[in-house]
Chain A
Amino acid sequence: MKTLFLLCAWTGAALSAQDAFAQDFLIRGATLHTATAQGTLKNTDVLVRGGAIAAIGAAARGAAGVPVVEAQGKELTPGLFGGLTSLGLEEVSLESQTVDSTLNIKSPAWTQQWRPELDVSPAFNPRSTLVPVARIEGITWSVLAPASGDTIIGGQGAAVTLDGRYDAVLRGSGSLFITMGSAGAQLAGGTRAAEFMLLEQAIRETRAQGPIGEGALLHGAGREVMARYLSGGRVVFQVERAADILGVVGFARRNGMKPVIAGGSEAWVVAKELAQADVPVILDPLQDLPGDFDHLGASLSNAARLQRAGVRIAFSSGDSHNARLTRQLAGNAVAHGLPWDSALAAITANPADIFGLGATRGRIAVGQVADLVLWSSDPLEVTTLADQVWIAGRPVELRSRQTELRDRYLDKVKAHRYF
């Protein structure tokens, strides 16, 4: 057996993700954080075949004739979730020609048109510089979340794999994004009550038979899309205040939607209700400032309290350029009371489950796609870095525009001390 990949080689393997073909290989002697009920398995082997996890432990050990990666006890996790982002939908946030995350129809509130049929995934650019920046730090997938432009309806988004392929959308992950609370109120004519009023109108239009009169919110295509979400579709509501969270959950249930709470800085206040209704929350566990009157209850203990109440949680900062920092969110949640395994699940298995991908992503288990990261140490620690990343069994070249910049100037800095 030969050792195929050099550990700690931050210049990375020679093949780019695009060119490399999935190869069978064995990762030997890793500390596996499985994000399953099995928890952490020490000194364990993982066999990857055809881009998927074929065997774990003793069953993997017998594999003959495949290249071996010696993990030497290092920690292996599933590929990480980058959060709800515009990864691949934006390059430079303030340069509008490089941003494809937001639809602006520019009509006033009372003549507004809703376009839930907008799906941002065709705008995804796998060659954006943001993609390798995230990928080389173990972020293997993210959910493209359209931002609200001038209506509360952001449109539809979906999960994408970040291995550089063009057909990156992960099937079954499509979701509708709606902005509620005070942010939505500004787009609904000034009151958060109008968010529900307009949603009710859209639902009536969707359920109406035949043509709708003037002043309709929805076009035909929009009605078709809304109909799908009214029969069990996943709707991600950006909402913060406890009262609004409960309002959204009740509204979604009454209308056949499957709600996901995003933001949820006061979710801990209604944790019991969320657990009973089995509604997941995608939160930023670092959010602790009363940034506005919807965030008065923001707290560093939000994640720990939700977990204790039995709510399924996932982490997202919403930051596309720094999607790589989801690990830091998880580590801080641990510092503030969340069990370590739950924190890892919040950036692996839980978001995969929330977006309908749990059968293939988010865990180290037989049959899962081989999105794997081998770390220099504790993966939730800020001083830990990814040593190797695989997406669907292919090694990721650990290079990005940022490592190119670093290498260009590093020699100059190292060349001499100046005094």
Chain B
Amino acid sequence: MMLPSRVLLFLSTAFAVSLGLAAEPFPSTYQVPASPALLIQGAVVLTGTGERIDGADVLIENGRISAVGRALAAPAGARIVAAQGRWVTPGLIDIHSHLGVYASPATKGLDDGNEATNPNTANVWAEHSIWPQDPGFETALEGGVTTLQILPGSANLIGGRSVVVKNVDAVTYQAMKFPGAAYGLKMACGENPKRVYGEKNQAPSTRMGNVAGYRQAFADAQDYQQQWDKYRRDLAEYAKKKSDAASGGKKAKDKESGDKDLTAPTPPKRDLKLETLAEVLHGNIRVHMHCYRSDEMATMLDVADEFGFKIVAFHHAVEAYKIADRLAQKGVCAAMWADWWGFKMEAYDGIQENLPMVDYPDHSCAIVHSDSGDGIQRLNQEAAKAMAHGARAGLMVPPERAIRWLTLNPARSLGLEDRIGTLQAGKAADLVIWNGNPFSVYALAQQVFIDGALLFDRDHPAIKPRSDFLLGQPGEGAAL
């Protein structure tokens, strides 16, 4: 489905509209680059919809998928890519990345991922910390990652706004920003907030302190929302009276009091924390919550119900397998590693069958995420390991289903499932040509496209982004 530009305009101004503000700040400047029509021929195509088509072609025109199927006709002037023996998948999507905010090199000067000065920093936006020159972006691209959600860290109960970016070479983050993508709000359960603030001898220092913190924050946001709702009602009334007065239909005796009535209402003072939380309550900002333990996920589902917002995904959901049914019933995604465990108490019950177990119920939404500049380069291998352990436990996940963990399901959690995450006509031509079955340790992304533009080609070293930081460094020429 092709989104008309007015829909994009609507999406991008949705936040501003709900608070009656002028325009969205920090707008995306990303432009879909011009690219020639392209016909990829004869590949094994995993569409991301759950389908596998062998010997299939993919036709790309104007940066979008225009057809997927066998024996497609090449339009005049189309570039042909012979892909026999290769596999094609949608571009991979990582919904948990700190690239740019915890950049390489991990110096103090680039340590911008956690505003660990207050347990609630809903006012901060991850995009303002992104260093677009982080070399991690290019290594992630070489691993087939085309879209990322960059989040603040997990030191705080409410860490701030996330941002969805396209993995394109850019000097500014605005030029990476996914046009029209909703913001996310990073929240965190468990050990990290209580450790960070408990060590400073301030709240929260316990899990009950954590929950009190989320609840008070959203109670305050409700109050803020009411103030703005009242202001908008008053403003509407004022506008109506003003318009009535201008039309001259008022009685003369009302004139004196009418002047008084025609004073414009004063808007409440903007509070950037509460503004973000109010947008969550409005449903315009999507909650992504770091939460390891199943019992804490259940607590948070109740907190969300209490205040009427939705958690779209639990991240680092190491224990999601214990409540796979509940998550599916609630339509909440779980973003998981294949095998990380034991580095802290809340990660002690990690198992390698987590992904296939969470994936098993109908209406599930299992996602592979990285939280790592290393792991993001091999999301396909993370899925492959989980597939193998699932199969041994009797949970068979074929490649055409497993690819959804890296494509459609993360797109759903971002609210972008109509635009990316599958190879279907009308969707963005974000795709990866692999040199073989991607669920193999030997598989490498051969070519990576974003909106139809070839941004990485393993056979042509010139076709790859190169961070300013690495220019003239000893790392240059490190590739074989």
A-B Cβ contacts below 8 A, count: 166
In the complex, the answer to whether A290 meets B469 with C-beta atoms within 8 Å is: yes
**In the complex, per-residue mask of A403-418: 1 if CB is within 8 Å of any chain B CB, else 0:** 1011001101110011
B241 contacts partner chain A, Cβ-Cβ < 8 Å? no
Q: Are A418 and B325 in contact (CB under 8 A)?
A: yes
- Chain B residues with Cβ below 8 Å from A94 are 191, 343-345
Q: A296-B475, A335-B444, A385-B388 are in contact. Are A289 and B344 (CB under 8 A)?
A: no
Task: Check: A325 CB closer than 8 A to any chain B CB.
Answer: yes
User: Which B residues from 374 to 431 make CB contacts under 8 A with A?
Assistant: 374, 377-378, 381, 384-385, 387-389, 392-395
A321 at the interface (CB under 8 A from B): yes
B473 surroundings in chain A (CB, below 8 A): 290, 296-297
B441:A331 contact, CB within 8 angstroms? yes
Does B214 sit at the interface, judged by CB under 8 A? no
Contact indicator B440/A290 (Cβ below 8 Å): no
Are A383 and B387 in contact, with the CB atoms below 8 A? yes
Dominant secondary structure of chain B at its interface with chain A: loop
Interface status of B480 (Cβ within 8 A of chain A) = yes
* Docked-complex contact B345 and A406, CB < 8 angstroms: no
Query: Which B residues are CB-close (under 8 A) to A140?
Result: none
The residues of A that contact B342 with a CB separation of less than 8 Å are: 91-93, 129-130, 321
Establish whether residues B442 and A334, one from each chain, have CB atoms under 8 Å apart when the complex forms. Answer: yes
On whether the beta carbons of A292 and B345 are closer than 8 Å, the reply is no
Main secondary structure of the interface of A (DSSP, over half): loop
State whether A418 touches B474 (Cβ < 8 A). no
Knowing A297-B474, A382-B441, say if A290 contacts B357 (CB, 8 Å). no
B152 to chain A: closest CB distance in Å? 20
| Residue B362 lies at the interface, judged by CB distance under 8 Å to chain A | yes
Q: B: which residues have CB within 8 A of A?
A: 104-107, 135-136, 139, 191, 321-322, 324-325, 328-329, 339-345, 348-353, 357, 360-363, 373-374, 377-378, 381, 384-385, 387-389, 392-395, 439-444, 469-470, 473-475, 478-480
A to B CB contacts below 8 Å, 20 in the list: A93-B342, A95-B344, A242-B474, A289-B139, A289-B373, A292-B105, A299-B478, A301-B478, A301-B479, A324-B339, A331-B442, A332-B381, A334-B442, A335-B443, A335-B444, A337-B480, A385-B392, A405-B349, A410-B394, A418-B325
Contacts A94-B345, A293-B107, A383-B384 supplied; 20 other A-B pairs, CB < 8 Å: A91-B342, A94-B191, A95-B344, A288-B139, A289-B104, A290-B135, A299-B480, A301-B478, A328-B385, A331-B441, A332-B441, A335-B442, A337-B480, A384-B388, A385-B392, A406-B321, A409-B321, A410-B393, A413-B321, A418-B363
Chain A residues at the B interface, C-beta cutoff of 8 Å: 10, 91-95, 129-130, 242, 266, 268-269, 286-293, 295-301, 304-305, 321-322, 324-325, 328, 331-332, 334-337, 380-385, 402-403, 405-406, 409-410, 412-414, 417-419
